[in-house]
Amino acid sequence: MLGSMMMRPLNVADILTFAADTHPTGEIVSVRTEGDLHRYTYADSARRVAQLAHGLKAQGANPGDRIATLAWNGYRHFELYYAIAGIGSVCHTINPRLSAEQMTYIVTHAEDTMLFVDLTFVPIVAALRDHWPKGLKVVVMTDRAHMPDGDYLCYEELLDGHPESYDWPELPEETAVGLCYTSGTTGNPKGTLYTHRSTVLHAMMVGLSLPSALQPGKKILPVVPLFHVNAWGLPYAAPLTGASLIFPGGALDGESIFRLMDNEEVFSAWGVPTVWLGLQGEIANQGRLPTGFGDMVVGGSAAPASMIRDFEERGVNVCHAWGMTEMSPVGTQGNLPAHLADVSMDKKIEIKSKQGRRIFGVDLKIVDEDGTRLPHDGEAAGELYVRGNAITSGYFKNDEANATAFDAEGWFGTGDVATIDGDGYLTITDRAKDLIKSGGEWISSLDLENTVMAHPRVANCAVIAVPHPKWDERPLLIVVPSPEGKPEVSELMALLEEHFAKWQLPDDVVFEDELPLTATGKVSKLTLRKKYMDHVLPASG
Ligand code: ADP
């Protein structure tokens, strides 16, 4: 028997309409590429989004068109998310840190019809445009006074003179709303095509799961980019809950982030660990936290225990989260449940170093090489599979990838290797392709890194597999020293010996001034593996 409730489709446009009605004074503050700070409210934003939607229609945008963005976190990028979605087109966010080849691949693969670009990235467009689909309209996200020379439309002129309201169409909730390609460390990037339904549900899931930051009056700094992984859902979850968004533009170094947080009294900051390493440095310089800072979400790659401890001991609640582009992206979050609220600091750090527990709408399973489910006992490690309400059911126009992305039960393979304990805590031990296989046994690079990061003279580190004639692969530790100077290798090994068996220890330690990063700000182990492919390890057993 079917129930008899209204079947109103979930629609992204409703989020901003709701915010404008219900949280009209919630703010969006943006560091602009023009060099100044811009601020307005959700109510102001909704009016400009309506104007932009009219402007897009006037340019001939049709439902289903892929309309690309190449932009920092700022209010105009936010407006594009909503205006493009609202008219039934698809907002295709492009990561400006991709290689020229990858960018050309995805613009062509997505068949973008328009591209909105921040001033900073105009040179990228100028260099690549000849290789992109003919007829692609390029709009520069600025006003007339700052327009570059060339065949470009002006963003502010697109809005000028249009009505400040729009009669949003009622779209089926399965309508595509956004497209985001993973950087694809091997092979071509793969696109996840979100729906209105998945996006609205994900916004509600994130709002429910991370309530400390997502509240009216709270200010959130998304360092996680709008150009990748939907800024972890914040452009939707923040207006839905009334939290304000403080967008940092392109100024992402520790000093700039500190200043912005301090001036705006940001409560909660969201981003990858590499960004927080920079902020940690500035906090140490100034000997204080930015005013009002009390909460952070860290994910995208593993947050070292030493970093979590540093922030927690300064009174900042750290939520270690895990997810991926294909999951909208949040899968788990690590705020302590009520029954663990009073644990000791050491225990807290131990728990928070794990990647947290699933949020509603995400199911997790770990399996062995035959696909057999493994127990959730915190010991058994296997490949992590997921299913849920905001998880991809297939990459955009990519039969080849889709042929192997799902198991027989329809679960999506994350490519991560993990354990899940009896309380539901997920621990990512590695990306499958980063695991080190030594003499038939697996060594977790993340575990080794986490331990080494605790040394005060280690600013950053990575453990990678180096080919070995006898053992297939052996671990090599690469260390970036802190400004105080290099740590002694013997000290690093002593630290590791406390936690690992002898055969798991790195065979060699090398020092680098910095580690190469991927387009999404993670340490690029692929680049490191290539660099050290022929590294000669000292003779070992
Ligand atoms: P890409 O890194 O390829 O651009 P994503 O941004 O979607 O793609 O990254 C998803 C991957 O990032 C996950 O599969 C996982 O390997 C890694 N990851 C995300 N969060 C964490 C975390 N908290 N700890 C460890 N790994 C993480």
Q: CATH code at 414? A: 2.30.38.10
**Looking at the domain assignment, is residue 524 inside a domain?**
yes
Among 41, 312, 442, 486, which one carries the catalytic annotation?
A: 442
pLDDT of residue 183: 73
pLDDT of residue 541: 45
The partner residues of 485 in beta bridges, in order of sequence, read 482
Give the residue from 207, 234, 249 where a domain finishes: 207
| Catalytic site includes residue 72 | no
Measured CA to CA in angstroms, residue 105 lies from 191, 226, 230, 260, 347 at distances of 11, 20, 20, 35, 47
CB 33 within 8 A of CB 20: no
Cβ of 322 closer than 6 Å to ligand 1, yes or no, is yes
- Give yes or no: residues 417 and 473 share one domain: no
- Give yes or no: residues 442 and 422 share one domain: no
**Looking at the domain assignment, is residue 281 inside a domain?**
no
Give the residue from 179, 207, 235 where a domain finishes: 207
Among 182, 195, 414, 427, which one carries the catalytic annotation?
A: 182
Among 156, 173, 264, 326, which one carries the catalytic annotation?
A: 326
Pair of tokens at residue 364: 């997790």
Cβ of 431 closer than 6 Å to ligand 1, yes or no, is yes
- Position in ligand 1 atom list of the atom nearest CA 320: 23
**Looking at the domain assignment, is residue 440 inside a domain?**
yes
C-alpha closest to that of 323 among 230, 253, 403, 404: 230
Atom 24 of ligand 1, residue of closest alpha carbon: 302
Task: Count CA within 13 A, CB hemisphere, residue 345.
Answer: 10
**Looking at the domain assignment, is residue 80 inside a domain?**
yes
Expressed in angstroms and rounded, the spacing between residue 89 Cα and the centre of ligand 1 is 28
Measured CA to CA in angstroms, residue 414 lies from 291, 408, 521 at distances of 38, 15, 19
Expressed in angstroms and rounded, the spacing between residue 444 Cα and the centre of ligand 1 is 15
- Give yes or no: residues 425 and 439 share one domain: no
**Which three-class secondary structure state does DSSP give residue 128?**
helix
CB 474 within 8 A of CB 442: no
Residues 23-69: tens digit of each pLDDT: 999 999 999 998 899 999 999 999 999 999 999 999 999 999 999 99
- Give yes or no: residues 392 and 525 share one domain: no
- Give yes or no: residues 156 and 93 share one domain: yes
Low-confidence ranges of the chain (pLDDT < 70): 184-186, 540-541
- Give yes or no: residues 158 and 25 share one domain: yes
pLDDT of residue 26: 97
Among 25, 174, 409, 437, which one carries the catalytic annotation?
A: 437
Q: CATH code at 86? A: 3.40.50.12780
C-alpha closest to that of 510 among 490, 530, 480, 467: 480
Substitution candidate for ligand 1 out of 416, 447, 448 with most atoms within 8 A of CB:
416
Substitution candidate for ligand 1 out of 106, 297, 301 with most atoms within 8 A of CB:
301
- Give yes or no: residues 67 and 158 share one domain: yes
Beta carbons within 8 Å of 378's beta carbon, 6+ residues apart: 419, 420, 421, 422, 425, 427
Cβ of 192 closer than 6 Å to ligand 1, yes or no, is no
Q: What range does the domain containing 379 cover?
A: 362-430
Beta carbons within 8 Å of 440's beta carbon, 6+ residues apart: 472
Cβ of 54 closer than 6 Å to ligand 1, yes or no, is no
- Give yes or no: residues 456 and 380 share one domain: no
**Which three-class secondary structure state does DSSP give residue 465?**
strand
- Give yes or no: residues 415 and 453 share one domain: no
| Catalytic site includes residue 270 | no
- Give yes or no: residues 418 and 455 share one domain: no
- Give yes or no: residues 71 and 197 share one domain: yes
- The three state secondary structure string of 299-355 is CCCCCCHHHHHHHHHCCCEEEECEECHHHCCEEEECCCCHHHCCCCHHHHHHHHCCC
Residues 139-198: tens digit of each pLDDT: 999 999 999 999 999 999 999 999 999 999 999 999 999 999 997 656 789 999 999 999
Expressed in angstroms and rounded, the spacing between residue 232 Cα and the centre of ligand 1 is 12
pLDDT of residue 187: 73
Q: How many domains does the chain have?
A: 3
Beta carbons within 8 Å of 142's beta carbon, 6+ residues apart: 33, 34, 118, 119, 154, 155, 156
Expressed in angstroms and rounded, the spacing between residue 522 Cα and the centre of ligand 1 is 8
**Looking at the domain assignment, is residue 243 inside a domain?**
no
**Residue that has been written with the tokens 């630290």 in this structure:** 495
Cβ of 300 closer than 6 Å to ligand 1, yes or no, is yes
Give the residue from 161, 185, 207 where a domain finishes: 207
Q: How many CB atoms lie within 10 A of CB 39?
A: 13
Q: What is the DSSP letter of 392?
A: -
Q: What is the pTM of this model?
A: 0.94
| Catalytic site includes residue 348 | no
Expressed in angstroms and rounded, the spacing between residue 36 Cα and the centre of ligand 1 is 33
- Give yes or no: residues 488 and 408 share one domain: no
Q: CATH code at 474? A: 3.30.300.30
**Looking at the domain assignment, is residue 230 inside a domain?**
no
Atom 19 of ligand 1, residue of closest alpha carbon: 300
| Catalytic site includes residue 182 | yes
**Looking at the domain assignment, is residue 248 inside a domain?**
no
Q: Above pLDDT 70, what percent of the chain?
A: 99
